[in-house]
Chains A and B, each alone.
Chain A
Amino acid sequence: MRRRDFLHTSGLVMSGLAFGGLPGPAAAAATPGRGGTLIWGHSETTQNLDIHQTGTASTLRLLQNVHDTIVTVDRSFKVLPNVAESFDSSPDLLTYTFHLRPGVTFHTGAPVTSADVVYSFERVRDPRTGAVNFDVFREVASIEAPDAMTVIVRMKQPFAPFLARLAELGAGAVLPKDSGDVQGKMPVGCGPFKFVSREFGNKVELTAFDAYWQGRPYLDGVLSHEVTEETVRLTGLQTGQFHLINDIPMDRVAKVKQDPKLQVLSWFPLNWDFLNFNHDRKPFDDPRVRQALDMMVDKEALMQGALWGQGVVTGSPSFPTSASFDPAIKPRAQDFTAAAALLREAGFAPGQLQFTFKVTTNYPYHVQAAQIMQAWFEQGGVKATTQQLTWADWLSQCWVHRDFEVTMMNFFTLWEADFLYYTLWNSTGAFNYRNIRDSAIDDMTGKARRSADPAERAAIYKQVQQRIQDQTHDVILWFRNGSVGAQQNVGGLDRLVHPNGSNLMFRNVWLKA
């Protein structure tokens, strides 16, 4: 019996117990069937299919099924063996040794060896690759392969998040040696599905990989139709054109849940959003001004208005199931009197503060949120002008050239705490587009990445969050829900979503006969 089949049999026993051993629809739904091609209405167009170079959630969502990573994580973000059957790190965090699992093969039929892992890691490390996870290997001194099944990574200095970051596809995916040039159009890896073809902008075809090391997937294949217009996607599900769609329109989730023909999986979080101030622009260098604007926003009402309730307001941007998440940090309540007092203290009488609020039309709910906030700012005696930018313009103006006063953005899957807090809030952080320079945060985030003690790191990150809140460096708004709608004959939905909250794992899904 294969390991995977065993797991499912034991899972069945457990569900049988839970339902008192009575046969019923729930028990039938839990019986995995084999075969069939799942037709998926995908919300976005996939772009560059090179797993190292792609930063878009849409492409990662698809490639999750084609690639496999050297290590992985569970829902509590514990690092687990994967393509590496075991791994160990030296106590000083300077040496990591990976022992590869025998019998793992690529879609080409070739076995996975240490040379492939070295190639994959070196490719991410090479700045000319343009790898989005380049920073994961920044502290790496050397990557060696003493024998065919062992990889040793030596660090220049400790980088505590290293292992956990390797669970990310863009950093830890194992690619066949020298396959870099073809990955962009014909991705090849050692994951559960083989990439067959893509008709650009329309569809992608995946087929089950018979020799997948965790056992062949239940499905024969996945056919992804790229349908960007959300109402058309939903109609496709309702009329039976698709087995499954991701991203149900936020204003329709409640209604779709009542449809007896369909099942809805909602989870949180898909991503999180925050309001940004440019700390290099006056008067946003003044924490009193930032706090005053924070106090004009009713976060719950804003979430209801912009997300139709499909989210949860938070003061902590840490992934909710991670150790550094701090529910004690509460968003500031709306208080126009206190806000006015703070503004007066900072030298602004009502009507004196004016600014431009740049938002991108790439996220329509950002535009709605900005318009709602604009009304509150108006009420607080502040004149905000909303400027809507295309994605290219937003990236160029706000992200690269940092030319903005106030804006907002969201992030997917920055679940590793160092990746989240160092890159976004350290003054040298790669994603610090708000020009935040806070030596207290610099010290704390620097210290945390050198610490080998997870409890100590979590405690430090909680202090960092408190500091962000106290100084109102940004205003953390909410976690937004993810949603998947499916026909009743799709089984295994509960194990579809990757712990990172964004990627979909079709090897856990089956079609009932």
Chain B
Amino acid sequence: MTYLARRLGLFGVTLLLITLVTFLITNVLPGDVATMILGTRSNPETLAGLREKLGLNQPLIVQYGHWIGHALSGDLGVSLVFRTPIAVLLGQKIAASAMLVVMSLVMALLFAVPLGVWGAVHRDRWQDSVGSSIALAGISLPDFFWGIVLILFVARGLGWLPASGYASPLDSPRLALSYAALPSVTLALSLMAHLTRMTRSAMLEVLGQDFIRVCRAKGLAEGTVILRHALRNAISPVLTVAGLQLGYLFGSIIVVESLFNFTGMGWLTYQALLNRDMPLVQASVLVIAALVMLTNLAIDVVYTLLDPRVRLT
């Protein structure tokens, strides 16, 4: 319990620091939200009027204090550009991003585990090289590269899937899937690469152990040995890594969602940044950071349940 309390306390401090850094960095960017709202219809008078109304002419520390005061009391405020309560905006977007993240996680596991097992079973032969090369390519190149490749070949070239957009599964499950397909594959690629390598090394470790030799000695079919005995023992660290990577996925969505115009949390954060919409930037970064930290904590806790040897102190 003391461990949990300490972790949660650290959470608070970390989140506070994140909001402060975000606030400072965003304020260094040229332009402000009043310029963005009025666009090419602004003049010095209306700009000054709007800045006063939005409180942008106050010292930075006062602006930050004002924001953090409200945020601590649970009021995330109103988006300056969209004039909509931020809680409502986030509510609309979190589900979309969650769908994307879960889809990519499932996809990554579905491909990574068989590929890793295949590589481990055929260790140092061509099958292993194929698996390793795929994994290496996935790790070495950033998300947006694969995103652009997919847009160019699958969407533009073959015309199989839309290159950008979003539809709610409640309106049309088929459309929703077609829009989510390419961004989730993009997100899944680097995750899959990590998981393939993880599965392969965990499998190799397990396959070298005595109980596997016993299994083979008592005449079990090779498939049963690999899938029933070896994989079951190897899968737990793989799942742990998958969980840890969930946090990483929530970070990646800013780039990937913007690339595909998939209007979830990441897209919203990017729009807020482009518009210099400070309260919205702060709130989205806060939510993403909290999600990353919470998944990490959850993984630590779950790990103790899975493996009694691990204790949190």
Contact partner of A390 among B39, B46, B89, B274, CB < 8 A?
B274
A290 to B82, alpha carbons, bound, how many Å? 40
Closest beta carbon of chain A to B55's beta carbon, Å:
12
Q: Which residues of B contact A392 (CB under 8 A)?
A: 29-31, 35-36, 274-276
Nearest chain B residue, comparing its CB with the CB of A397:
B30
Contact with A along B7-45 (1 / 0, CB 8 A): 000000000000000000000011110111111111111
A396 within 8 A of B: yes
Whether A48 pairs with B83 at a CB distance below 8 angstroms is yes
How far apart are A97's CB and chain B's nearest CB, in angstroms? 28
Contact with A along B64-102 (1 / 0, CB 8 A): 000000000000000001111100010011000000000
Most central of B31, B32, B50, B81 by chain A CB within 10 Å: B31
Q: Which residues of B contact A185 (CB under 8 A)?
A: 82-85
Q: Could you give, for residues 189-201 of chain A, a 1 whenever the CB lies within 8 Å of some chain B CB and a 0 otherwise? A: 0000000001111
Does A232 lie at the interface of the complex (its beta carbon under 8 Å from any beta carbon of B)? yes
Check if A399 sits within 8 Å of B42, measured CB to CB.
Answer: yes
Complex contact B39–A55 (CB within 8 A):
yes
Check if B163 sits within 8 Å of A232, measured CB to CB: yes
Query: For the complex, is A334 an interface residue (Cβ under 8 Å from B)?
Result: no
Q: Which residue of the partner chain, among B38, B268, B276, contacts A130 with CB atoms under 8 Å?
A: B38
The verdict on B162 contacting chain A, using a C-beta distance below 8 Å, is: yes
Chain A residues within an 8 Å CB radius of B50? 53, 128, 130
How large, as a class, is the contact surface on chain B?
A: 35 or more
Choose from B35, B84, B162, B167 the contact partner of A400 (Cβ within 8 Å).
B35
- Does B47 make an interface contact (CB < 8 A)? yes
Q: A411 near B: Cβ within 8 Å?
A: yes
Residues of B within 8 A of A400 (CB): 31, 35, 42, 47
Using CB atoms, name the residue of chain A closest to B46.
A134
Residue of A nearest to B34 (CB): A130
Q: Mark A228-262, 1 if CB is under 8 A from B, else 0.
A: 11011001000001000000000000000000000
- Chain B residues whose C-beta falls within 8 Å of the C-beta of A184 in the assembled complex: 82-84
Tell whether, in the assembled complex, residue B274 and residue A391 are in contact, meaning their CB atoms are under 8 Å apart.
Answer: yes
Measured CB to CB, the closest approach of chain B to A390, in angstroms, equals 7
Q: Are B38 and A132 in contact (CB under 8 A)?
A: yes
User: Does A430 sit at the interface, judged by CB under 8 A?
Assistant: yes
Most buried by A among B82, B92, B274: B82
Find out whether the CB atom of A411 lies under 8 angstroms from the CB atom of B40: yes
B35 touches A430 (CB 8 A): no
Closest partner residue, chain B, to A184 (CB atom): B83
Shortest Cβ distance from B171 into A: residue = A203
Query: Which residues from chain B contact A232 at a C-beta distance below 8 Å?
Result: 162-165
- Count of residues in A whose CB is under 8 Å from the partner chain: 47
Decide if B163 touches A202 in the complex (CB within 8 Å): no
A189 to chain B, nearest CB (A): 16
Judging by beta carbons under 8 Å apart, are A199 and B168 in contact? yes
Q: What residues of A have a CB within 8 angstroms of the CB of B118 in the complex?
A: none
Q: How far is the CA of A183 from the CA of B84 in the complex (A)?
A: 10
Measured in the bound complex, the distance between the Cα atoms of B48 and A294 in whole Å is: 35
Answer whether A396 and B163 are a contact pair too, CB < 8 Å, given A128-B53, A130-B38, A131-B46. no
Cβ of A129 under 8 Å from chain B: yes
Q: Are A430 and B43 in contact (CB under 8 A)?
A: yes
Is there a chain B Cβ closer than 8 Å to A135's Cβ? Answer: yes
Residues of B within 8 A of A409 (CB): 40
Contact status A128-B49, CB under 8 Å: yes
> Is A474 an interface residue, CB under 8 A from the partner?
no
A55-B42, A184-B83, A430-B43 are known contacts. Are A201 and B267 too (CB-CB below 8 A)? Answer: yes
* Interface residue B132 (Cβ < 8 Å from any Cβ of A): no
B163 contacts A201, C-beta separation under 8 Å: no
Chain A residues lying within 8 Å of B252, measured Cβ to Cβ, are none
Q: Write the chain B residue with the least CB distance to A202.
A: B263
Query: Does chain A have a CB within 8 A of B205?
Result: no
* A267 within 8 Å of B (CB atoms): no
A346 at the interface (CB under 8 A from B): no
Q: Which residues of chain A in 169-201 are interfacial with respect to chain B, using CB atoms and an 8 Å cutoff?
A: 183-185, 198-201
Bound state CA distance, A183 and B78, in angstroms? 13
Task: For A207, list chain B residues within 8 Å (CB).
Answer: none
B161-202 vs A, CB cutoff 8 Å, 1 = contact: the mask equals 011111110000001000000000000000000000000000
Pick from B35, B162, B168: contact of A399, CB below 8 A.
B35
* Contact present for B39 and A395 (CB under 8 Å): yes
Interface status of B295 (Cβ within 8 A of chain A)? no
A56: CB under 8 A from chain B? yes
Specify which of A55, A130, A393 is in contact with B40 (CB 8 Å cutoff). A55
- Judge if B236 is at the interface, Cβ distance under 8 Å: no
Contact A227 B165 (CB under 8 A): yes
CB-CB nearest in chain B for A56: B39
Within 8 Å of chain B (Cβ to Cβ): is A50?
yes
Evaluate contact between B46 and A393: CB separation under 8 angstroms: no
Contacts of B167 in A (CB 8 A): 202
A132 to B46, CA, bound (A): 7
Q: In the complex the two chains form, is B31's CB within 8 Å of A395's CB?
A: yes
Q: Which residues of B contact A47 (CB under 8 A)?
A: 37, 81-82, 275
Q: A395-B40, A396-B35 are in contact. Are A134 and B45 (CB under 8 A)?
A: yes
Residue of B nearest to A231 (CB): B163
22 interchain pairs (CB within 8 A)?
A47-B82, A55-B42, A128-B49, A128-B53, A130-B37, A130-B50, A130-B53, A134-B43, A135-B43, A184-B83, A185-B83, A198-B84, A200-B92, A200-B263, A201-B93, A201-B271, A229-B163, A392-B275, A393-B30, A396-B31, A397-B30, A400-B47
Chain A residues engaging chain B, CB cutoff 8 angstroms: 45, 47-50, 53-56, 127-135, 183-185, 198-202, 227-229, 231-232, 235, 241, 390-393, 395-397, 399-400, 409, 411, 423, 430-431
Known: A55-B39, A200-B84. 10 other contacts (CB 8 A): A49-B83, A127-B45, A130-B53, A184-B82, A185-B82, A185-B83, A227-B165, A228-B261, A229-B165, A391-B36
